[in-house]
Structures are given as structure tokens and as C-alpha cells.
Structure 1
């Protein structure tokens, strides 16, 4: 079963609620997608960590507008912490990834009104088998020998877990697989911890 090539597109599909027709319910969705872009660039070897800051290691086209845009941002800036890049341009990233998936035929995007009054957008995964395949990759990464897990699947688990995507990994699953999630997060670089910190800061700001 084919799945989209980029990590943010895969995270988006996993975050699509089959019944509610929405993506990222109950999460800081923009932060999670931005983290997915960073993690993708990291595991592909485009970014490296330099004293807690994201720096460009290899700069050549990724052939993906979302990845290329963030790589260009980072290359044109002084070294900054990973959370800085997670916290920027979240709405643009969400809309661009959604557009990618819609144009690629992975999702159906339809205008919708809640209670007939409030405008929103209904998002439906066109082929449920694609999302099932991605769920299988998450499950496989949690249960297979660590040496058999691909960097992309390790990063997928790390972002989903750090982002608190309960639709994929609920609290019980995160507790049961705590050790493996930690191992996969370490394989995926500094993005997981930066995403957790971003979510903590956002929660504190909302509460305060």
C-alpha cells in the first residue's frame, strides 16, 4: 500500500478522525506538523543539531514545497533552537500540507457548517487502507526489533507520541510503550523533546 512520502503528510493522515471528519482534534496540530517537517529534514540528513540548535547540514532540494520552504528559512537564519521553528508559521504549514494531500488525491476537503451556522472544513481520507497502513507502521515500530525500524517510522512514532495524538497512541499505549518510544525518539533527534516543550508552553499560555 502506497503512502505519502513526507512525514508531515503521514502525520496529517493519522490525525484525521474517521468519524468527526476533522484533523488534529484535541492536539496542538500546527506544532505537531511543524515538528514533523523538522523531523523529516533531520532523518533525511538535511539538518543537524548544533548545541541544541537546528543547522543545515546538507542543502539540496527535497522536491517537497513544505520541506524546502522550512529548509530555506533555516538556511537563511542564524542557528536557532528547534522549538523556535516549531512555533513559527503553523497555520501556513497546516493549510499547505492539507492542500498537498488534497491535490494528491489522499483526502477529500469539503466546506461544512456546524449546526448549519459555523463554517468549518470536513476532511476525509479517501482510502481508509492508507491510514490503516500508517497505523500498522506505528504498531510495527513499537513492537519490531529496534534495528529493523526505519528512521522515517521512528520519527513518525516520536512526533505522534510527543504531540499527544491520542487517536493513534492514547495515554495507556504511551505508558505501556514508554521505553520504546524513548528509544525511537532518541533515534529521531531533538524534535520530540522540542515538541513537548512547545506544547507545554502553549498550555501554560492558554491557562494564564
Structure 2
């Protein structure tokens, strides 16, 4: 979709240009780490076997975030599954959100402003300095969701990841949302079955989707419980 990493694209799409803050969705377990695992799969830096276990291929990463992720996986003596790595990467690369934000700062797309809420709690804002990359990303998403272009593997991976957060329809006009939802659902199903992308990407996507759905369900249950009290 662009020369950005998938994890950077997710960060940008969940970014509020006016406030410089991130949507709560991007902080859910499995979202950024899932996008990062998909980046590794898209670049053939990892493979996933029939047991859904992850192994590295020995290929050399071309980005510091990917290198750090590979280093974490290589350093782990125990073989882990996609789902286990979703949480391990989030933990061992903590704070992952800030690292992705700084990657975009280094590209000149975002700025970084640190402050303290109530003078006590550290907060970080990421004001947008260059709107072009996000505008191009959103335009491409619209074309994919409205079936105006043939989607690439990164396109499919991004749409499927966003589908887990129920976000694809928000990138098109209201009149086109039904069409966009249908396209996103179909692309996601085909991706999970390995029909439009490689087996490794499909397996990584399935594990990521499961983690995100679990996080969404837990968040919804917590909200319902809070409102009932």
C-alpha cells in the first residue's frame, strides 16, 4: 500500500490529527504487535508451520522495528505460536506504541510532544507534520474497499486487520459503507483461508484476529459491567 510498515499504517489510521492522540483501539492487546508480525510475514522474515509455530527465515530486516522484533524472536529459546508472540512482542518491545510513533517522527510524518497530565502522569502527543502519507493511505483504502483496484498482499493484510476492529467502513462515504463492509468481510475470509495471500500471512492473520476479537469482547464486557454498576 505504501513504503510504510503495516504497523505504522495502523498507527496513522488510529491517529487523531487535531489532538495528536491515538484511538483506544490501537492500544488493545494484539493490534500493534499483530501488525508487526504481519510485517514480518509480508517480508518473508518469518514462517508459520501447521502447528502455528513461528520461526525466522534468516532474511535480513530493512527497518529497525523489524530488526528488533526478529532479535526478540531469535533470542527466545522456546518455540512459540503466533498468538503467543502477539503478547510476547508487545511485552518485550514495550512501549511498542511509542516506538512506532517515533519511527513516524523519524520519517518526518509526525512530531512528538511530551507533557504531564495534572503534572503527574506522562503523556505523549503526536502532531501530524506531513499529512500526505495518511491522505494517500486513506485514498488507497477507499479504492480497495470500493473494488476500484486489485488489492496487494499488504492491502489485504491491512483491511483484514482493520476489519477485526470494525473500522473499514469509516474510510468511505456513508453511501458506500455497505459496499465497503462487504468487501472487507470477503477479503478477510479469503485471507484467513489463504486464498489471496500466502499461508504464513494467513496463519499470522488468523492468530491476530483471534487476539483482537478477544480483546474487543473483554473491553465490551467491562464496559457493560461498569454501566450496570
TM range (shorter): 0.7 to 0.9
TM-aligned CA deviation for residue 137 of structure 1: 2.0
Q: 1:93 to 1:23 in 2, by over 3 A?
A: same
Q: In the alignment, is residue 126 of structure 1 matched against residue 125 of structure 2?
A: no
Judged with a 3 Å threshold, the aligned counterparts in structure 2 of structure 1 residues 31 and 168 are, in CA distance, closer, same or farther, namely farther
Q: CA deviation at 1:136?
A: 1.8
5+ long unaligned stretches in structure 2: none
Q: Does 1:176 align with 2:182?
A: yes
> Do the aligned partners of residues 47 and 197 (structure 1) sit closer, same or farther apart at CA in structure 2, a change above 3 Å counting?
same
The match for 1:199 is 212
Q: Tell me the CA shift for residue 99 of structure 1.
A: 1.3
Distance 1:165 1:19, change over 3 A: farther
Change (3 A) 1:60 1:27: closer
Kindly indicate whether the alpha-carbon contact (under 8 Å) linking 2:45 and 2:60 is maintained by their aligned counterparts in 1.
no
TM-score, length basis structure 2 = 0.73
CA distance in 1, matches of 2:11, 2:47: 24
Q: 1:169 to 1:85 in 2, by over 3 A?
A: farther
- Equivalent in the alignment of 2:11: 12
Counterparts of 1:105 and 1:29 in 2: how far apart (Å)?
A: 26
Query: Structure 1 residues 45-54 or 127-136, which shifts more?
Result: 45-54
CA contact (8 A) 1:109 1:123 kept: yes
Cα separation, 2, equivalents of 1:7 and 1:110: 23
Query: Does the CA contact (< 8 Å) of 1:40 and 1:155 recur in 2?
Result: no
> More strand per residue: 1 or 2?
1
How is 1:29-178 mapped onto 2 (pairs within 5 angstroms)?
A: 29=28, 31-56=30-55, 58-77=57-76, 78-90=78-90, 91-112=94-115, 119-144=122-147, 148-165=150-167, 168=170, 175-177=181-183, 178=185
Partners of 1:195 and 1:50 in 2: how far apart?
A: 16
Which structure has the higher relative contact order (CA within 8 Å, separation 6+)?
Answer: 1
Q: Please, what TM-score do these two structures have when normalized by structure 1?
A: 0.80
CA change 1:129–1:75 in 2 (3 A) is: same
Number of aligned residue pairs: 205
CA–CA distance in 2 between the matches of 1:64 and 1:53? 25
